[in-house]
Every structure is written in structure tokens, then in C-alpha cells.
Amino acid sequence: MANTGPVDSGKATDRFGDGSVDAWVEETQTFAANMARVAEMSQEIWRRFLSTQLADEATLRSDPLNTLPAFTEFAQSALQNPERIAEATMAYWQAQGMIWQQMTNRMLGIENGAAPVVDASRDKRFRHREWSENALFDYLRQSYLVTADYLEGAATTMGDLDARDRRKIAFLTRNFVEAMSPSNFFALNPEVLERTMEEKGENLVRGLNMMLEDLDRGKGRLIIRQTDMEAFAVGEDMAVTPGEVIWQNDILQLIQYSPTTEKVHQRPLLVMPPWINKYYVLDLNEQKSMMRWLVAQGYTVFMISWVNPDERHARHTWESYMSEGASAAIDKVLEETGQKSLNLAAYCIGGTLAGVLAAYLCRIGDKRVNSATFFTAQLDFEDAGDLQVFVDDQTIDLVDEQMEKGYLPAEAMAQAFNMLRASDLIWGYVVSNYLLGKDPFPFDLLYWNADSTAMPARVHHFYLDTFYNQNALAKEELELLGQPIRLSDITVDCYHVATKEDHIAPAASVYRGARLMTNAETRFVLAGSGHIAGVVNPPEAEKYQHWVNEDLSPSTVGEWLQKAEERPGSWWPDWSAWLAKRSGRKVNARTAGAKLGTIEPAPGAYVKVRFDKR
């Protein structure tokens, strides 16, 4: 390709600031040259995009997410209620008429002080002053928001659909609505137009250069950067709690953190993170690290760091993750500490595995796990959050095709998670990066979010089909390692934490799973915020709140919450008080790897493998 760098004359950017025709001509030429480069790069981007799409059989399918049956049922059901359709449509056109009248009055200079039809003051997509001060842009903004409310309202209320189809309709409608926001389009976004004039198109040149780089990074697929991926280094800026890798196999590395207290609780704690993401979300930095905090409370803490798999790991199954993974790690923790049992804590899909493992161990009389803690972990998948829209027989077949090499590529899961919050994680960066030409701001949590992991094909297929699609664990239809898996077999004490705004593991789903442990002493806590911020909430931050209620007899989390006690701040101290009672007496602090030896310092090699560097 020809040089795609922006052209900058080095002259004043005010078109008439020096009163010189020559300056105006030179700036006009600069603008024209930059726009020519924009056209050239746009053609290259379109060429690469088309070549990638045409090479991908999955994207050529007319309905890859199997939406047609749900939308057909939705349309048929909605048409059976013409009164509701008519009522909603009439209200929609009345609102549009009011918006048009307001714009007309403003353009005629008639200011009657009428409030906007739609309050968009908190919508960060429309913060630029022109969205409210300019009559035309204000019309675009309000008209779009009224249309969005109409479409999303219809998707969530009209017709009589089952919960899964309703969620799919609502999810896809929301994604369509967010994609159509006028803020996403060059000619309709006043901030982009203003920036383009000020910079003579240099912002677009920078932005499209960035898009080309993102296409290269995704090997033809657009992997939108959300932060500066070179601004952090795992083991230097994050995942910095001191420790040692004391054992490993081809599934995991086992980290033991170094003590910071003279005495520690006798019984060790093993943390099992999800393998959908890397473990260091629990050890982002000194201020946000749960691991550092736990060590400071006097616990001997071990962490599983799952491998970032490739075709070499294609043989692995859910059972091997149980036996060669979690169970083997338990053995090594007990061997290292000389104890007979440990406390287990697990996050998200790691919690699903922990629940299955605890049920299996209790059934066969294995007492190596003394207690189990579940962070936003689903065990009952009847109504399992927004990810459920990606799961039915046809979409699982599509995922299987993506895993032909024996693993699901990391970018596939990253794209699915980004779609759950498309306005923030996709379109916001399209505008900021590619239209405004801004460099992404360095942010540790977004670095972690973009540091994606692949998944072994057989493990992932089993997870989607057995749990999300069949809900086999909650229905007591699951058998593994030759044993029926029943949550009612769990007899060890259990602690569950859900988060109030979780769209991945909804609090209602986590609560139902906790109640299935009918023979365990179970504590359930509801934390403020969402799937990440609600879990990673150090007490020192003094953020959010949590609710406690000893009574799990209410059938729904809403009923449970009505009688719950609200407490300010983090739930970590509540958990630590619960955990301390199950961790034994205090003993001298243990040196990491004193018995098994050490392989390398934490965070180890497995967590540093990045898919975009392969």
C-alpha cells in the first residue's frame, strides 16, 4: 500500500486565522490529500473484510445464530394482539411528531421552553454540546432514542414467548438498535465532523490506520482494541502478588503465594478461576488484588493458572479438567502443606466445575474438600443470562465448526462477550478509535478483558450443551467419572456470592443453584455491581454494598432480598469471617514450594501466552 500517514502542512489550523489565501489553499490541499488517503485505506479495509468473510463458511449462512424460528414465533404471537401493537405504534408516532414540532420551532426561532421528549442527558454517546444545541442533531438524537425505546419495548413485552426466545429477541434487537445509533456514523456525528474539520481529516487517517492494524492483529477479522495492549505486562504491572509456581502439567500451573504474616491458618485455600478468562483479574494490581488481600488475612493461598490451549490440548474433556486439573491440584496443595483437606474457592465457570467436583467427591466419600466458595457461579442454567442467546443445537453446531483444530479460538469468545455490552465494548471504540482517531486509554481491566483465552473443543462443547442447553446438572441428569452428579450430595459448607447487576451469571440463577445444595450448610450473599466489579471489590475502596440473609427458604432471590440486611462496602470481610471458622488454628507461615520445590516465580509462563502473539 501507499503511504497512509496523515498529511500535516505544519501551518496554522485556523482556516482564516492569518488572513492569508495561501494558508487557506494549503490547508485545503492538506484536507484533500488526507481524504484521498482515507478513500484509499477504506478500499483496502473493504477488500480485506470481504476476502475474510467469503473465506468463512459460517458467516455466509443466512442465519448463523438461528434467529429465524424465534422471530417467526414473535411475529405470529405479536399479531395475535393487534390492540397492543396499535397502542404502542400510536404512542411512537405521537412522540415522533412532538420531536419534529420542537425541531421546527427551534429552526424558526420559536423557543417555548418545552422539555425534550427524551432525556438523553446521561447517555454518553450524546454528550457533545451539538447534540442538544443544534436543532438538527437534537432531532436525530431524540428520534433515534424514541425509535430505540419502541423497538426494544416491543421485543421485551409483545407476544407470548418462552424465556429463552424472549431473551434472544431482546438481545438481538438491542444489538441492532445500538449499531444504528447516529453517533456511529461519520456524517451524523457532530463531534466527528468537528474533529475532522479541525484536523483536516488527520483523525480519519489515524483511525483507519488503526483499523488496518486491528485487522492484521485479528488475521483478517476486526479485533477492536479497547486499550493500549503494550502499556501493561503480566508479572510487571499486573499479577504481581509474590509467589512461586510449584507444580504444573499440560492443563495448569499451580501457584503458591508467599506469606506476609508470621502465622497463617492451618487449612490452605485453593482458588480455581474460570478458564474462559485469565486468572489475574483476581490479582490485577496491589490495590485491586484479592490474592494479596487474602494473604494479608493470614491464609495460605494457592491459585490455578489454566493453560491457554491450542491443538495440543484437543484431547481434554470436562472429566480431565476435573481429574487431571482440579483434583490433581488439590492433591498437590495437600502434599505441599501436609494437610488432609483444603478450602476451595471458584469463580464463574470455575465454580460450575467446583460444584460438579464437590458433588462427585462427597458422593464417593472423598473428604479432601472441607468447604466450597462460589463467586458468581451458575449451577442451575434454566435462565442463565445473556450468553444463553448463543446456545441451541444449531449454534452449538456452528461453534463446533469453529473448533475444527481442537480448540475454540480466543477471539471467538472475546467477540461473544463484547456483544453482551456492544454499546460500550464495540461501538464506543469504533467512534473513539476509528472516527475520532484517539489512542485507546491504558486501563488494566480492559487489558485483562482483551487478553483472551482459547478453549479445548471437547470441554467447551460439553459445557455449552450439557449445562446451557440441557441444564443437566440441575435436572439431576448428569453422570461423570462413573457417578451420578447430584448437588444434593454436597455436604460440605458452601458460600455463594452473586452480584446484583450480573448479565453473565444472573443473581436469580446463582441463587437457584445455591438452593439445590439441600444437604449443605449454605450461605448466600448478594453484592452490588456486576460480574467483575462486584467480585473484585477490595474493602479499602469503600464501594458498593452487599446484602446478607441467613434464610434461603424463599423461592426467588427477589423474595430473599426483601428480608435481607444491606451492609455498606465489600463482601470480602464477611467471607473472610466465614472462611476463618473453617480454616483451623494458626500455624507458622509456609514458604512457597518448601516441599514440592519451585519451577518459576509467579505468575508463571502459562498466563503470559497471548493469542494475538501466536
Catalytic residues: 348
Q: Report how far residue 202's alpha carbon sits from residue 437's, in angstroms, rounded to the nearest whole number.
A: 8
Q: What are phi and psi of 382, to 5 degrees?
A: -60, -45
Q: CA dist 273 to 240, 281, 375, Å? A: 17, 9, 9
Q: What are phi and psi of 598, to 5 degrees?
A: -125, 145
Q: CA dist 372 to 120, 369, 493, 540, Å? A: 45, 7, 6, 25
Closest-CA residue to 410 (of 217, 602, 254): 217
Let me know: does 341 contact 599? Beta carbons within 8 Å: no
DSSP of 132-160, one letter per residue? HHSHHHHHHHHHHHHHHHHHHHHHHHSS-
Measured in whole angstroms, the distance separating CA 454 from the mean position of its chain's CA atoms is: 15
Maximum pairwise Cα distance, the chain:
89
Closest-CA residue to 223 (of 388, 52, 459, 387): 52
Rg over alpha carbons for the chain, rounded to the nearest Å, is 27
Q: Report how far residue 19's alpha carbon sits from residue 226's, in angstroms, rounded to the nearest whole number.
A: 41
Which amino acid is located at 50 in the chain? L
CB-neighbour burial class of residue 235 (10 A; exposed 0-12, middle 13-18, buried 19+): middle
Measured in whole angstroms, the distance separating CA 7 from the mean position of its chain's CA atoms is: 38
